[in-house]
Structure 1
Amino acid sequence: MSAAFMGPAVSMYFNTGYAAGFAGAAMPISFAISLVIAIILAKTIGEFSKVAPSAGAFYVFASKGIGPRSGFLSGWLMFIGYSLLEPAEEALFGTTASSLLKSGLGIDIPWYVISLLAWAFVLMLSCIGAKQSMKMTMILFAGEVGVLLVLCCIVLAKGGHDGIHFEVFSPAMSPSGFSGIALGMIYGMLSFVGFESATTLAEEVKNPKRNVYYALIGSTLLVGCIYIFATFTVVNGFGLKNMDKLASDASPFVTMATQFGNTTLVTLIALAGLSSILAVTIGVNNAIARVIYVMGREKVLPSALGKLNARFHTPTNAIMFQSAVALVLLLLMGFAVGPSNTYGYLGAILTLGIIPVYMMASVGYVLYQKSQSNVRKHPFKNLILPIISSLLLLIPLSASFYPVPEFPYNILPFIVIVYAIIGIIVAKRLERDPERFKRVGEILGDAGSEVNA
């Protein structure tokens, strides 16, 4: 579940270009540092899930360690993280499919037509129940990763664009120094978003103290190694001096398949990318609609959103509400800044929202272990590692403020800050009813628990 939610194919196909725009040929460093952070976080969160196994995940982690208000804010930020993924992915699906149809078959269909078709398909599938389709995405996941790795092996076996260069792991290859690598980490961390989703099943699996822990570590390490291998390959495939081409390429892996492979490989790469986007979109829609449904059922939102469809037993009203919000964002952003930038900007916003959640979980873990007098017993596990992960997460956060990035990346962090302030205001009002306040936080923090259900 964690590996599928990260979506290795879609992450590598599209996040590499954005990361290269900041880090240049040093992009693999951005992903390598992101992997180190993700592994430490996976270990910390896995350890936390041993002592606090719960479907509430980050809400519970922050609440137990720091306090209920921090727990609520964690859930609040996780909610925007998951909810922005749907319009981002649908915009990406539209522009990618449109480009491929035009270049491959000479068929010119506007991106928004294809995006709307994808949106309608996801809406229909969610309304009738997506359990079987989500099982299918697990099979597609294996196929997508297989195709990706085959292409990477072919590119490296043929010597890349002008040889194989290991200096891509040198910070000197970044055009703007470490600040470029740090900004590239925003898309590195975006590629790992979802590694934590296995924690939400802690109440439903056998021996959660063991199995959830190893699921987090194993999936994060596996996918992270794929990321480093793929980023190393794509930089060498384009050539160290062609990072501007990589940054502006809507489908860099399709470009590499065209140059180093054949028609069959190009087709497989294209289909793998599109299916990966669609799979993530379906999962995200299900997850967010479930949260909206529960909030309607608890009368936090209008009660009509908390009703099930009599025929399909799915939260149709909640699904339609989430789909309507996604449609508005898709069209407004898509026509205002273009579909590719819609993915890039929304992806950056949701990552900047989720990074503080990871930090609160780490700090919460330390404080919780301190309250249990366990820090002195295991200082490396219960103090040093969580602090290291929090400090490393400050790298992409600080780079979002200084040196001041170009517009509009300079304003994206402030969008998250405004959203967080609204969350604090909502939390203060809900605190008047402690039981309701706790329940709302649990619901928000449970956003990813039904991604593959």
Structure 2
Amino acid sequence: MSSADQVDGKLPVGAPAPSTLRRSLTTREAVAVSIGLMAPSVAMNINPQAAAGIVGRAVPLVFALATVGVLLVAYCFIRLSQHFNHAGSVYGFIGVTLGPRAGVVAGWALLTTYVAYGACTVTEAGLFPADFLKASGIWSGASWEVVTVAAAVLVVLLAWAPARNTTRALLGLEGVTIALITIVAVVIAVRLISGNAPQDQDFTLSVFSLPHGVGTSALFFAMTFGFLSFAGFEAASTLGEETKGDPRRAIPKVLLGSVLFAGVFYTVISAITTMGFGASKAGTDRFTASSSLLGDLGTTYIGSVVGQLVSLGAGISGFGCALACVVGASRLLYAMTRDAFPNSRIGRSTGQDGRITGSIAVVAAAAFVAVAALRMFSTSEPLDIIFWTATIGTLSLLVAYVLVTAGALKFLFFSGVRRVARWEIVVPLGAFATLGYTLYKSVYPVPAEPYNLFPYIVGGWLLLVFGVVLINRKLANKIHRRLLSEAGLTSREEPVK
């Protein structure tokens, strides 16, 4: 049995008692964080174009296969969440399975992802609403910078609210936009099936097959874009200390449900949008040139007002994602600081509702300063900020996922305790293959500048953190003792089924 299984749940002698979070969230509210951080509405408006440029009409096939790949990775999170519940998510999971140094790197990688995605999505929360204000004539001089600042302030205010209120806001924001997109998709599907499409597009299942001349190598390359649309599904694992009842049963259900919902949504909506533009070469060209897939289709198939509302909804979804990023990142920072520097205000909760205002302030400031710095010193184009920060966040996320997969392999199959059926080892091995290929395709062929620099930036950043905990043995040992003493990281053995 691993050392994590032998602890008695007590703190080391002389260690200050850690502040605690309040268990106030229902399973539905935990779902909101995972769905909010994935932001399906934004993903379906701006992510599929890259895949279409590689595989043409076969975008829905890409998302269907990507769903299978993500389920392999989700298996690792689900199995670990059945044994552990911790605000630090991968930091805690990996800290007790691979050791404190690997845990710190995994936690820091995921924290970097959430901060980078926060910068990305708060920019989206400024860009899309600003475009809506100008297109609708409400404010012809709307500036994305001004709207972004307003969105950032509102994100902080909502993040400081009790966790239950914040998650409800997330669920409402994303739910409204998903509902609007679903309505638009249904109208498009009806017109396609009835033969009443504006440019004689038709309903065809050919979108689930590769066009002539496109091979499986291109398909798997395009899968990287589908795979990355699921980034953030694991965010609910940061709420293990705040979920009511038994989080070791609730959180795994949330993780699985979030991936399945997103997979079905992405596959169906991408199929309808692909058919909506047309499964021909001309239709694919229009598809890849669109800056807002559902917004453009809403305008074409229903009317300009609907198209504008969908674009506004994408901005609202971006706002919800930024809020989810701050919620997830603040829990990670809180958990890591609680163990490494327990007397710090960042590692303490306050009030009867267990708010973590210090960590929220730090992660929000980091995300918003990143946006301001890029705008002031690098580019005036909001799309540059969106794509640059998204790429950095994704590369860091892949590192965290690889470590989670390694931790699950060791804990489930190589710790001396039979926790699952032996045949299940094929699942994390499949996850390793998927992650390795995705990471490989993210860096090779070498992308154009500045994207060629991002792997070195992320790698250097994470190596720096690893170097600190490697050299500072006292700090690593203190983190290790704290992790082993936290009840949420004491494994509960379950019979093999």
TM range (shorter): 0.7 to 0.9
Q: Secondary structure of 2:47's match?
A: helix
- Within a 5 Å distance, the mapping from 1:426-437 to structure 2 comes to 426-437=468-479
Q: Matches of 1:285 and 1:77 in 2, distance apart?
A: 15
8 Å contact 2:72–2:427 — kept in the other structure? Answer: yes
Tell me if 1:224 matches 2:263.
yes
Choose which of 71, 74, 92 in structure 2 pairs with 1:60: 92
Choose which of 165, 179, 190 in structure 1 pairs with 2:228: 190
- Within a 5 Å distance, the mapping from 1:98-177 to structure 2 comes to 98-105=130-137, 107-127=140-160, 131-159=164-192, 162-172=201-211
Letter in 2 for 1:32: A
Provide the TM-score with structure 2 as the length reference: 0.78
8 Å contact 1:97–1:114 — kept in the other structure? Answer: yes
Letter in 2 for 1:200: T
Tell me if 1:199 matches 2:237.
yes
8 Å contact 1:430–1:437 — kept in the other structure? Answer: no
Letter in 1 for 2:101: R
Q: Secondary structure of 2:474's match?
A: coil
Q: Give the drift of 1:179.
A: 5.9
- Within a 5 Å distance, the mapping from 1:240-251 to structure 2 comes to 240=279, 241=281, 242-251=283-292
Tell me if 1:394 matches 2:436.
yes
Aligned match of 1:30: 62
Q: Give the drift of 1:255.
A: 0.7
Letter in 1 for 2:313: A
Q: Matches of 1:422 and 1:309 in 2, distance apart?
A: 31
Letter in 1 for 2:423: F
Letter in 2 for 1:199: S
Aligned match of 2:406: 363
More helix as a share of residues: 1
Change beyond 3 A, Cα 1:163–1:343: same
The alignment of Structure 1 onto Structure 2 pairs a total of residues equal to 441
Q: Matches of 1:408 and 1:178 in 2, distance apart?
A: 29
Q: Matches of 2:55 and 2:342 in 1, distance apart?
A: 43
Aligned match of 1:352: 395
Letter in 1 for 2:117: L
Q: Matches of 1:361 and 1:134 in 2, distance apart?
A: 25
Q: Secondary structure of 1:82's match?
A: helix
Tell me if 1:323 matches 2:364.
yes
Aligned match of 2:26: none
Choose which of 307, 315, 319 in structure 2 pairs with 1:274: 315
Q: Secondary structure of 2:449's match?
A: coil
Q: Give the drift of 1:84.
A: 0.8
Tell me if 1:210 matches 2:242.
no
Aligned match of 1:412: 454
Change beyond 3 A, Cα 1:264–1:358: same
Q: Matches of 1:48 and 1:293 in 2, distance apart?
A: 20
Letter in 2 for 1:251: S
Q: Matches of 2:167 and 2:217 in 1, distance apart?
A: 39
Tell me if 1:285 matches 2:326.
yes
Structure 1 unmatched ranges of 5 or more: 447-453
Q: Matches of 1:174 and 1:414 in 2, distance apart?
A: 35
Choose which of 279, 290, 297 in structure 2 pairs with 1:256: 297
Change beyond 3 A, Cα 1:15–1:377: closer
8 Å contact 2:41–2:177 — kept in the other structure? Answer: yes
Q: Give the drift of 1:129.
A: 5.2
Change beyond 3 A, Cα 1:197–1:304: closer
Aligned match of 2:23: none
Q: Matches of 2:90 and 2:311 in 1, distance apart?
A: 35
Change beyond 3 A, Cα 1:437–1:21: farther
Q: Give the drift of 1:384.
A: 0.6
Change beyond 3 A, Cα 1:321–1:415: same
Tell me if 1:341 matches 2:384.
yes
Provide the TM-score with structure 1 as the length reference: 0.85
Aligned match of 2:79: 47
8 Å contact 1:63–1:70 — kept in the other structure? Answer: yes
Change beyond 3 A, Cα 1:65–1:174: farther
Q: Matches of 2:343 and 2:92 in 1, distance apart?
A: 25
Deviations 1:57-80 (A, max 9, x none): 322333344333222211111110
Deviations 1:204-260 (A, max 9, x none): 443444333322222211111101111122222223434444344332211110001
Q: Matches of 2:83 and 2:208 in 1, distance apart?
A: 38
Choose which of 96, 107, 112 in structure 2 pairs with 1:80: 112
Q: Give the drift of 1:302.
A: 9.6
Q: Matches of 2:175 and 2:474 in 1, distance apart?
A: 48
Letter in 2 for 1:114: V
Q: Secondary structure of 1:410's match?
A: coil
- Which deviates the most, 88-97 or 201-210? 201-210
Change beyond 3 A, Cα 1:155–1:64: same
Instruction: Provide the identity percentage.
Output: 24
Letter in 1 for 2:235: S
Aligned match of 2:12: none
Structure 2 unmatched ranges of 5 or more: 1-30, 489-497
8 Å contact 2:345–2:358 — kept in the other structure? Answer: yes
Q: Give the drift of 1:263.
A: 4.9
Aligned match of 1:451: none
Q: Give the drift of 1:386.
A: 0.7
8 Å contact 2:38–2:229 — kept in the other structure? Answer: yes
RMSD over aligned CA atoms reads: 3.3
Change beyond 3 A, Cα 1:333–1:237: farther
